Amino acid sequence: MGRKEPVNMKPVFAVPRRALGGTRLQVSVLGFGTAPLGDLYVQLDDGTAIDTVKRAFDLGINLLDTSPLYGNGLAEHRCGAAIRRVPRQDIVVCTKVGRWTDPFRGRGDRAGFAGGLPHRAVVDYSYDGTMRSVEQSLLRLGVDRLDLLLIHDVDVWTHGADAIEERFREAMAGAYVALDRLRGEGVVAGIGIGVNEAEMCVRFAQAGSFDTMLLAGRYSLLEQPALAEFLPLAQQQGIGVLLGGVFNSGILATGAVSGAKYNYRDAPPEILARVARIESICDAHGVALPTAALHFALGHPAVASVVLGGQSPQEVERNVAALSCDVPAALWSDLKAECLLAAEAPVPLPVAG
């Protein structure tokens, strides 16, 4: 009698892994970002949220990026439920500091989150505030250690030009000291920052000893301001780079359609026009715009992983499938010939057949 094949078993594309800076961690080149699990813009039910994380794990994504900011702790709670379904040693858990949550003061500013927990996020980069944030995250996630801890949102985008110097000093004198201690004690394997500006990555890299940095939006198919200074510095110092926002808040996923978002706002006419030109070249090569955007972001040798969010298991499946698509080298050369891509930008090798 022949052996029965298991039912409902689909072949899974193995997501490649890369070393993360000087840490011992190997992270999947596609990470899972959990801002949507905090009810960003729309409310999700718990079952869908948890199933989405679980699907990411099933498909070979091992990097889970979260933050107390996302739904004022809701994303971490949901991540904790998903983490308990897999062996802890199989995944890399990254969360952030710079905010702790107060359960007694109401939600406050929801920062774009449609739902979330009825707790208020308190910005605090002090040593004690950082330790409180870490303790709360450990409790919400249901774990006794973290793999990566990032100092979150020390940038002009978040705090404004008038406050950034004070925030930077507070972060280096408080949060950095706390994270460096936790790294030394083995509570966390690596420390870093998560910001929206390449210039702040450079400042932190020059001020302390960091293992990783998560930069959102500033190295993408649309714009590459991190190319000149930060990414070479990261290579020189052995900092493992994680990239977020590689669709620039949506426009590189949707294309130049009416209402397309850029930097969380409606895209201005010049951005719409530039994306339309990029998309036309992608179309000429038979490559979807978001696929090209994902492959380009992974083409720089400093980049360990691209962190993409998802609201459903199907979104995660599409993102993973895009990794295995072939992008011809001629697409990149055509973009450079049209001055739509920095001439010196490294481009990825075609996927081996």
Catalytic residues: 65, 70, 96
- DSSP 3-state of 147: strand
List of E strands, 143-300: 146-152, 188-195, 212-216, 240-244, 261-262, 265-266
331 vs 303: CA distance, rounded Å: 21
Q: How far is residue 202's CA from residue 239's CA, in Å, rounded to a whole number?
A: 11
Cα separation, 150 vs 77, in Å, equals 18
Structure tokens at 334: 């055509």
What is the per-residue DSSP string for 35-82?
A: GGGGTBSS---HHHHHHHHHHHHHTT--EEE--TTTTTTHHHHHHHHH
- β-strand 303-309 against 99-102: which pairing, if any? unpaired
Q: What share of the chain is helix, strand, coil (3-state, %, to 5)?
A: 40, 20, 40
Q: Which pair of structure tokens corresponds to residue 338? A: 């049209």
What is the distance of C-alpha 208 from the center of its chain?
22
Q: Report the distance separating Cα 38 and Cα 141, nearest Å.
A: 14
d(CA 219, CA 168): 22
| Residue with the two structure tokens 């110092």 | 237
How do strand 265-266 and strand 146-152 relate by DSSP bridges?
unpaired
Token digits of residue 169: 């000093």
